[in-house]
Amino acid sequence: MKAGLKAELERLVKELSSSHVMEEKRIGVARAEKRKQIEMAKKLLNEYRTIVLIDANRVPAKFFTYLRQRLYGIAVVKMFKNNLLLLALKEMGYANVDEFSRFLTGPNVAIFTNLNPFEIKLLLDKISMPMRARPGDKIDREIVVPPMRTELKPGPIMSLFGKLKIPIQVRDGVIWIAKEATIARPGDVVTPELASLFDKLGVEPSFIKANVKVAFERGIVIPAEKLYIDIEAYRNEFVKGVIDAINIASEIVIPVPEIVKVSIGKAFIRASKILAETGIVTKESAPIVFMNALSKALYLASLLAQKVPELGQTLPAVQQIQQPQPVAAPAKEEAKAEEKEEKKEGVSEEELAEGLSALFG
């Protein structure tokens, strides 16, 4: 074998051995990094009872930076590879890990917290960040620009202002928006031109929020749709429960100062009704008894006034109490309607008797 060829073979073998060693080192480093990530996830799982999985698809990294700032001291926001987070959960021995794994698709960010899943969901719903509009996005609110200096130089951009019907003026060598104008409305789709104008004017028309996929609390899997809480409905139910509890407590007269006051008030109202019906006159009951008798007298007078029209003239207060007027009948049935009205206009002896009985017991 020629010396040159032998040297070349030795060099190639040496390079191959070196690359093999380097590959093993690289794999070793990768494995060590994966193990480090798994141990970090296990540490967080030990420290926090709840994990909330956030969909990170098409979400800018600055939003998660903003989220970390807003949740500082409340939660830890961390991105793990799905398989590493799953391995950490399995090594911790949690139940229902397989059910949780169904949500580990696509890029995700995990939020670790000691709040319960419903509390952290309510908190996340209140956090939003304005962001630039991208072509194809839909506008969900009206975008209005005030009169302002734009710092844009006159040029082709002026045609875009005209297309969007934004009144402009050129002053001091720059474009000014002459008066307040609406440049987008709910439901509008952002075009490349509109997105460009938003950027030039510094307008961020969209708001981004955390898209919760699932919550996991010590082996309990709660999908996002079950994390919604109607606060107003719960508040109404709570108020109703308190009122019902007070009513029941006041009926059985639980010896608590607040309840005793309600019970005494109820007893007074019921006693007043009994006094009014029985007609027992005392210094305290006289106003109630007389008012009850007066209301019954007025009712009786209203019945009598239908038979004796003169009574209605002498008792103006009685005229305010009127029987419902019959509905006018069609022309063809006018005669029949008049006959029926004549039959109904009188008050029966039974009604008068009932009124007298109610008045005089």
The residue extents of the domains of the chain are 21-127+210-229, 143-208, 230-278, 279-361
Predicted confidence band of residue 126 (pLDDT cuts 50, 70, 90): very high
319's tokens: 């005229």
Q: What is the distance between the alpha carbons of residues 226 and 54, in angstroms, rounded to a whole number?
A: 15
- Tell me which fold the domain 21-127+210-229 belongs to: Alpha-Beta Plaits (3.30.70)
Is the confidence at residue 273, as pLDDT, over 50?
yes
- The more confident residue out of 213 and 324 is 213
Pick the CATH number of 143-208 from 3.40.1190.10, 3.90.105.20, 3.40.50.300, 3.20.20.70: 3.90.105.20
What is the residue-wise DSSP string for 268-304? HHHHHHHHHHHT---TTTHHHHHHHHHHHHHHHHHHH
**Pairing state of beta strands 148-149 and 174-177?**
antiparallel
Is the confidence at residue 30, as pLDDT, over 70?
yes
Sign of CA dihedral 12, 13, 14, 15: positive
Instruction: Work out the average pLDDT over 138-155.
Output: 86
Query: How many other C-beta atoms can be found within 10 angstroms of the C-beta atom of residue 106?
Result: 11
Instruction: Work out the average pLDDT over 23-36.
Output: 79
Instruction: Work out the average pLDDT over 72-98.
Output: 93
Supply the pTM of this predicted model: 0.57
SS3 for 69?
A: helix
Is the confidence at residue 332, as pLDDT, over 50?
no
pLDDT tens string 291-304: 888 888 887 877 77
Structure confidence at residue 327 (pLDDT):
39
Structure confidence at residue 289 (pLDDT):
80
Q: Do domains 21-127+210-229 and 143-208 have the same CATH topology?
A: no
Q: Which long-range contacts (CB under 8 A, 24 or more apart) does 86-92 make?
A: 87/38, 88/38, 88/39, 88/41, 88/42, 88/45, 89/41, 89/45, 89/216, 91/38, 91/42, 92/42, 92/45, 92/46
Is the confidence at residue 278, as pLDDT, over 90?
no
189's tokens: 């789709």
pLDDT tens string 189-238: 888 888 888 888 888 888 889 999 999 999 999 999 999 887 888 889 98
Structure confidence at residue 347 (pLDDT):
46
Percent of the chain with pLDDT over 70: 80
Mean predicted lDDT score pLDDT of the chain: 81
Instruction: Work out the average pLDDT over 90-114.
Output: 94
